[in-house]
């Protein structure tokens, strides 16, 4: 059976963080309940289209999914299991924020089959959290983390942010060190730099020069320190901004980067199924009235777009793009399509051929005849230097 990933968007938060442009907002309990009912309706209504697929990952993201009632989450997962074929080793992630969970809620998540937690911590410094407009403290994070371990979560991600207003290199390092010093530290760490988005309070403050951001050099230094400290602590950097202990790369997100089939439920949720992209509309009121009739922007990807996406997304992974799979899928080798771009970036030290796959599956070997005899071309990947300028390199693969 073919595999499928499911994503559920929960667009509710206790309050809006000052930098956030995600599709999320505070809401009353009645709205949350009505939305969760609509989500169930969409989930059940779509199931008939996916009977020949087996679900191998489920991601409940947002927003802050932990702001909805735990019984709604239990009901959602029961509904998925009742209507889809779910793999025995399915990865089920929920995003939570400290301050919105307690031991009982976490324990019920675990019993409902959720086996991966993603905790939005961002910083261990309470004053930095206040400046971001976030609702929780380091102590609340520590409590949530300890409770999660206690109720049996053995796969936890912690989100960290750098380049925050008023943040020094020392305070950023302190955040990293405090996470690494936790008893039984997390299996996975996502470390992103703050991006100031237009239309957010931070965007306005930036325009008025009121945001005391670290300069670019400091930002780069923090980025490099992240890699040094996390790799030194046994984490493998498997994607530009994601680090994991061996065997704990996020299956769901790797699916996005390798263009597996996925279906998104809820407002704003995107899907990619057999090279057709579609997306739910953003309007929550329309969605709650017509949850099954809400898909927009249906786009059938051309072969060229599929190739571009394969490179643009796949190069985010440090294991790179599988040359054999590319040739099998498109009937042409990477070098036939991208020979010049590859050669140019190899010469600049930004791309490399890698011998092995890092995330666990078998390699497909490609043998190519060249003047020098048979050469093995396994995986095309960014070098360390290439990872530093990944957008520049990846943009060159747009045909």
Q: Is 167 in the site for ligand SF4 (CB under 6 A)?
A: no
In the complex, minimum distance from the CB of residue 359 to ligand SF4, in angstroms, rounded to a whole number: 27
Count, residues near ligand SF4 per rule CB under 6 A: 11
Instruction: Report whether 380 contacts 325 (CB < 8 A).
Output: no
On whether the CB atoms of residues 222 and 172 are closer than 8 A, the answer is yes
**Residue 150: Cβ-neighbour burial (10 angstroms; 0-12, 13-18, 19+):** exposed
Binding mask 85-124 for ligand SF4 (x = CB under 6 A): ------------x----------------------x----
Angle at 131 between CA 130 and CA 133, to 5 degrees: 65
Verify binding: residue 13, ligand SF4, rule CB under 6 A.
yes
Q: How far is the CB of 174 from ligand SF4 (least distance, A)?
A: 21
> Given the rule CB under 6 A, which of 62-70, 168-176, 179-187, 361-369 is the region that contacts ligand SF4?
62-70
Calpha distance 310→365 (Å, rounded): 18
Nearer to ligand SF4, 16 or 149 (CB): 16
Under the binding rule (CB under 6 A), the answer on residue 144 touching ligand SF4 is no
Q: Cβ closer to ligand SF4: 129 or 254?
A: 129
**Closest alpha carbon to 359 in 384, 379, 375, 334:** 379
Spatial CA neighbour of 223 closest among 248, 246, 261, 191:
191
**In terms of CB distance, is 135 or 182 closer to ligand SF4?**
135
Q: How far is the CB of 100 from ligand SF4 (least distance, A)?
A: 9
Nearer to ligand SF4, 121 or 213 (CB): 121
Q: Which is nearer to ligand SF4, 120 or 255 (CB)?
A: 120
314 is a site residue for ligand SF4 (CB under 6 A):
no
Dihedral over Cα of 238, 241, 243, 247: its sign: negative
Shortest distance, position 199 Cβ to ligand SF4, whole Å: 13
Least distance (Å) between residue 197 CB and ligand SF4: 11
The interface region with ligand SF4, picked from 11-19, 141-149, 232-240, 274-282 by CB under 6 A, is 11-19
17 binds ligand SF4 (CB under 6 A): yes
Query: Is residue 32 at the binding interface for ligand SF4, with CB under 6 A as the rule?
Result: no
For ligand SF4, the binding residue among 6, 7, 63, 258 (CB under 6 A) is: 63
Q: Of the candidates 62, 65, 186, 264, which one interacts with ligand SF4 according to CB under 6 A?
A: 62
Where does the chain have alpha helices with state H? 29-46, 70-83, 103-111, 126-132, 138-150, 169-180, 201-207, 216-232, 251-257, 284-289, 303-314, 323-330, 334-347, 384-388, 390-395
Of the candidates 277, 280, 283, 300, the residue with the CA atom closest to the CA atom of residue 292: 280
Please tell me whether residue 310 binds ligand SF4 under the rule CB under 6 A. no
Q: Which is nearer to ligand SF4, 269 or 307 (CB)?
A: 269
Three-class secondary structure assignment of 186-210: CCEEEEEECCCCCCCHHHHHHHCCC
What CA–CA distance (Å, rounded) separates 257 from 311?
9
Residue 228 Cβ, how far from ligand SF4 at the closest point, in Å?
Answer: 27
* Residue number, 141 or 338, with CB nearest to ligand SF4: 141
**Distant-in-sequence, close-in-space partners of 71: CB < 8 Å, separation ≥ 6:** none
Nearest to 341 by CA among 300, 380, 298, 384: 380
Distances (CA, A) of 144 to 96, 115, 150, 154, 244: 9, 15, 10, 14, 20
192 binds ligand SF4 (CB under 6 A): no
Contact positions toward ligand SF4, by CB under 6 A?
Answer: 13, 16-17, 20, 22, 24, 62-64, 97, 120
């Amino acid at each position: 059976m073919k595999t499928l990933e499911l994503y559920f968007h929960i667009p509710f938060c206790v309050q809006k963080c000052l930098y956030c442009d995600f599709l999320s907002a505070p809401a009353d309990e009645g709205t949350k309940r009505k939305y969760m009912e609509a989500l169930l309706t969409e989930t059940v209504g779509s199931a008939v289209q996916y009977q020949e697929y087996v679900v191998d990952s489920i991601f409940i993201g947002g927003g802050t999914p932990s702001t909805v009632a735990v019984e709604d989450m239990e009901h959602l997962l029961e509904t998925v299991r009742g209507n889809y074929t779910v793999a025995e080793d399915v990865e089920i992630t929920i995003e939570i924020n400290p301050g919105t969970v307690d031991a009982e809620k976490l324990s019920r998540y675990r019993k409902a089959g959720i086996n991966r937690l993603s905790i939005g911590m961002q910083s261990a410094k309470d004053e930095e959290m206040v400046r971001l407009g976030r609702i929780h403290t380091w102590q609340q994070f520590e409590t949530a983390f300890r409770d999660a371990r206690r109720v049996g979560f053995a796969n936890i991600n912690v989100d960290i942010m750098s380049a925050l207003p008023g943040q020094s290199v020392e305070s950023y390092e302190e955040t990293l060190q405090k996470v690494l010093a936790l008893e039984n530290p997390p299996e996975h760490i996502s470390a992103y730099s703050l991006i100031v988005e237009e239309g957010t309070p931070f965007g306005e403050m930036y325009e008025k020069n009121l945001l005391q951001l670290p300069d670019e050099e400091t930002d780069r230094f923090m980025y490099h320190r992240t890699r040094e400290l996390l790799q030194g602590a046994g984490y493998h950097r498997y994607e530009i901004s994601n680090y994991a202990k061996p065997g704990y790369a996020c299956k769901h997100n790797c699916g996005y980067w390798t263009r597996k089939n996925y279906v998104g439920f809820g407002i704003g949720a995107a899907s990619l199924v057999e090279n057709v992209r579609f997306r739910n509309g953003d309007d929550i009121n329309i969605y709650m009235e017509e949850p099954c009739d809400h898909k927009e922007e249906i786009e059938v990807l051309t072969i060229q777009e599929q190739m571009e996406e394969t490179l643009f997304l796949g190069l985010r992974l440090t294991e790179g793009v599988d040359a054999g799979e590319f040739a099998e899928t498109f009937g042409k080798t990477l070098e036939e399509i991208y020979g010049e771009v590859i050669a140019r970036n190899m010469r600049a030290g930004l791309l490399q051929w890698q011998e092995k796959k890092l995330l666990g599956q078998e390699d497909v070997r490609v043998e190519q005849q060249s003047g020098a005899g048979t050469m093995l071309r396994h995986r095309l990947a960014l070098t360390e230097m290439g990872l530093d300028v990944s957008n520049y390199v990846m943009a060159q693969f747009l045909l």
